Amino acid sequence: MSEPVLIAQHNATLVITINRPRQRNAVNRAVSLAIAAALDDLDRRLDLRVGVLTGQDGTFCSGMDLKAFVDGERPELEGRGFGGLTEAAPKKPLIAAVEGYALAGGCELALACDLIVAAEDAWFGLPEVCRGLVAGSGGLVRLRQRIPPAIALEYALTGERISASVAHGWGLVNRLVTSGGALAEALKLADRIAANAPLSVAASKRIMNEAPSWSPHEIWERQRPLVEAVLASSDAQEGARAFAEKRDPVWRGE
C-alpha cells in the first residue's frame, strides 16, 4: 500500500505531495494526519524555511474523499481542520503548486496556503452547494479575502469553476505557468523566500495575516513587539554587516 503523502526536501524547502492519484488526490483522514505531521516538521526543523504543497500525477486535490465520508470517516482533525491545514497554518511560508483540479476541499487547501503557483490549465472552485454540502473548511471565508467579495459570492453560490487564468487575473494565483511546470516554479519561488532572514520572513507573514483584524488605533502597538524582536536578533546584525561587507548573509534564525 502506497503512502498517502510523499515527503521530500529541495534545498531548504519541504515538498508535501498528496499521493492518491487514483482518487484524484482526494483527502481522507490518513492524508490529513500525514500533512499535519509534515507541517509540524516544517516548523520544527531549522534547516527548513518554506513548504510546498502539491498533488501527484497532474491533479492538486479534488477535495474530500466522498466514499470515505459516506462510510463515516471525517478528514478534519481537531484543532487542525481539513487536510491538517485549514485551521492551523504553519508559521513558515507555504506555497500551493497546483496542476489540474483544486476543487472543494482541494481549493480550500490551496486557499490556506500563503501563495499559489498554478498551471495555466488548472481549475479552482467550491462546488459544495452542488452536492448538498458547505465549504466550511475556510473556502467561504478566504475566497472573499483573496478576490472581490461579490465575485467570490457568485462562485460560492453557483459552484462554478474558476480557470487559472481568471484566478490569476483576480490576484488569487501569484504565478501562472505552462502545464506541468507548477512545482518547478513553486520551488524557484521557495528558494527566493528561503534566501531571506527566517525571523524576518516569519514576522512579515504574521503581521500581514493578522493586521486586517487590528483596529486602526492599535496597529502600531500590535506590530511594535514583533518588529522589535527581529531588530534585536543576531540576524539583523548579520544582515547589516553583510551589506556593508558586500557579501551574502549567513542566517542563523536567531
Measure the CA dihedral 141/146/151/155, to 10°.
Answer: -60
Averaged pLDDT score across all residues of the chain:
96
**Under 8 Å between Cβ of 116 and 136:** no
Residue 152 has pLDDT above 70, yes or no: yes
Residue 69 has pLDDT above 90, yes or no: no
Q: Where are the domains of the chain?
A: 5-194, 198-244
> Is 198-244 the same fold as 5-194?
no
Residue 196 has pLDDT above 90, yes or no: yes
Residue 163 has pLDDT above 70, yes or no: yes
Q: Look up the CATH number of domain 198-244.
A: 1.10.12.10
SS3 helix, strand, coil % of the chain, rounded to 5?
A: 50, 20, 35
24: cell is: 484524484
Catalytically active residues, by annotation: 108, 128
Percentage of the chain modeled with pLDDT above 90: 94
90 CA to centre of own chain: 9
DSSP string, 188-204: HHHHHHHTS-HHHHHHH
What CATH architecture does domain 5-194 belong to? Alpha-Beta Complex (3.90)
DSSP code, position 27:
B
C-alpha 53/C-alpha 111 separation (Å) is 11
Mean pLDDT for 41-45 is 97
67 CA to centre of own chain: 26
Number of H helices, E strands in the chain: 10, 9
Q: pTM score > 0.75 for this model?
A: yes
Percentage of the chain modeled with pLDDT above 70: 100
Residue 1 has pLDDT above 70, yes or no: no
Mean pLDDT for 12-29 is 97
